[in-house]
């Protein structure tokens, strides 16, 4: 159902942020608003139902460049790599689009943004999100190909996919250890090994599970 879809808007221009929120609300979406990365991260910590992020690339403290916006997107996707991020920018279209896609953006729109185009992009993003989630229940996981190969080559890409897979299953299973281990096809003790390998704090996992139960 449309009203089950939560969309996070990150935009420092209050008027534009409220306008986008109003348009989304009129369409039946639940729109959450953040004026900066700090507020966005607080919302992501407390809201588990967010599927799509609509984010300006020109964010404080450097609103006249795309640096802060790319950094924001990088942190968000590090936290929840399966989210669909749609970026908005008033900067050089080609450069901004290239950098945003390299960092993992799902879609790109130039300001002043058409609300019809934005709604169409959000509809596509939600379709991809829901399709990928349905596939994960069948044991199929999308592989992100936007990361660059470094000195570790394919090994680094494999470990990046493994980490993203663990994060996604943790989120989908509300951090229930036994369910996560079952979904991943590993024993409980092996799951804790994977946590240590990828720097995931097991105590944090238990706290998140307790939080979701309340």
pLDDT tens column, 49-100 = 899 999 999 888 887 788 888 999 999 998 888 899 999 987 677 788 888 8
Phi/psi of residue 70, nearest 5 degrees: -65, -40
Same domain, 56 and 83: yes
Percent of the chain with pLDDT over 70: 89
Domain match, 70 and 159 both: no
CATH number of the domain residue 97 falls in: 3.40.50.2300
- Kindly state the tokens that stand for 28: 């039946």
| Statement to judge: residues 18 and 113 lie in one domain | yes
What are the pLDDT digits (tens) for 122-145? 999 999 999 988 877 776 666 555
Among 108, 46, 53, 124, smallest CA distance to 82 is for 53
- 106: containing domain: 2-136
Whether 97 and 12 share a structural domain: yes
80, 105, 136 - which closes a domain: 136
Instruction: For helices 188-197 and 177-184, give the axis angle rounded to 10 degrees.
Output: 90
pTM of the model: 0.75
Residue 32 sits in the same domain as residue 69: yes
What is the sign, positive or negative, of the torsion defined by CA atoms of 157, 83, 112, 67?
Answer: negative
- How many beta carbons lie within 10 A of that of residue 154, not counting itself? 8
Same domain, 130 and 171: no
Instruction: Region of 152 please: left (phi>0), alpha (psi -120 to 50) or beta.
Output: alpha
């Amino acid at each position: 159902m449309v009203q089950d879809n939560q969309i996070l808007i990150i935009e420092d221009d209050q008027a534009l942020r409220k306008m986008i929120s109003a348009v989304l609300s009129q369409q039946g979406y639940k729109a959450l608003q953040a004026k900066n990365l700090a507020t966005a991260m607080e919302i992501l910590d407390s809201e588990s139902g967010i599927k799509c992020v609509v984010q300006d690339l020109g964010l404080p403290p450097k609103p006249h460049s795309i640096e802060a916006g790319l950094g924001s997107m990088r942190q968000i996707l590090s936290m929840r790599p399966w989210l669909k991020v749609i970026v908005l920018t008033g900067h050089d279209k080609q450069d901004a689009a290239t950098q945003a896609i390299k960092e993992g953006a799902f879609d790109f729109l130039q300001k002043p943004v058409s609300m019809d185009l934005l709604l169409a992009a959000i509809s596509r993003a939600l379709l991809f999100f829901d399709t990928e989630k349905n596939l994960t229940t069948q044991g199929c996981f999308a592989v992100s190909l936007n990361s660059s190969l470094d000195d570790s080559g394919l090994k680094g890409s494999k470990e990046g996919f493994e980490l993203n897979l663990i994060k996604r299953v943790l989120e989908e299973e509300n951090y229930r250890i036994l369910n996560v281990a079952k979904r991943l096809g590993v024993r409980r003790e092996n799951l804790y090994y994977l946590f240590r390998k990828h720097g995931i704090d097991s105590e944090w996992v238990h706290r998140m599970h307790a939080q979701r139960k309340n």
